[in-house]
Amino acid sequence: MPKPCLLIVDDEPDMVEFVGDVAEEMGFACSSASSAKECLDLFESINPAAIVLDVVMPDMDGIELLQALAKRNCTAPIIAMNGYQKMYLDILESLATEHNTVVVGTLSKPFPASELSRLLQQVLDALE
């Protein structure tokens, strides 16, 4: 059985590497995008099993990205992360509910690998 693909969207290379290392250890194949535009381009071609996305990015924030993914009928569950105010995560979760998008959980940066692993395990469990 092929590995489920995780799409990591963050403009911070260190965070992409951290999330990718944790996810690959758990059995995911990872693709990454450093911008929302790059994410939307990749989304169509890789059909990710889940998306880990940063809420605050320079070109388009995670909230706008979530809306764009919803317009593309994204069914991949989302894990949102943010290094700023928790309010951004709350807004994203509310918006996801409006668009029938599943948000598995949210993470406030910096976060331990164990918190990310717990959410990624929920994704893996749902795939079985």
Q: Which residues pair with 52 in a beta bridge?
A: 8, 79
The Cα angle at residue 84 between residues 44 and 8, in degrees rounded to 5: 25
User: What Å distances lie between residue 40 and 43, 66, 74, 124, 126, CA to CA?
Assistant: 5, 10, 10, 23, 24
How does pLDDT run across 21-32, given as a tens digit for each residue? 999 999 999 999
Rg (CA), the chain: 13
Q: Delineate the domains of the chain, giving CATH numbers in brackets.
A: 5-127 (3.40.50.2300)
pLDDT in tens, 48-71: 999 999 988 888 877 788 888 988
Torsion of CA 18, 78, 72, 35, to 10 degrees: -30
Which pLDDT score, from 0 to 100, does residue 66 have? 83
Read off the amino acid at residue 124.
L
Per-residue model confidence as pLDDT tens digits over 88-119 = 656 656 666 666 677 788 888 899 999 999 99
Neighbours of 12 (CB within 10 A): 13
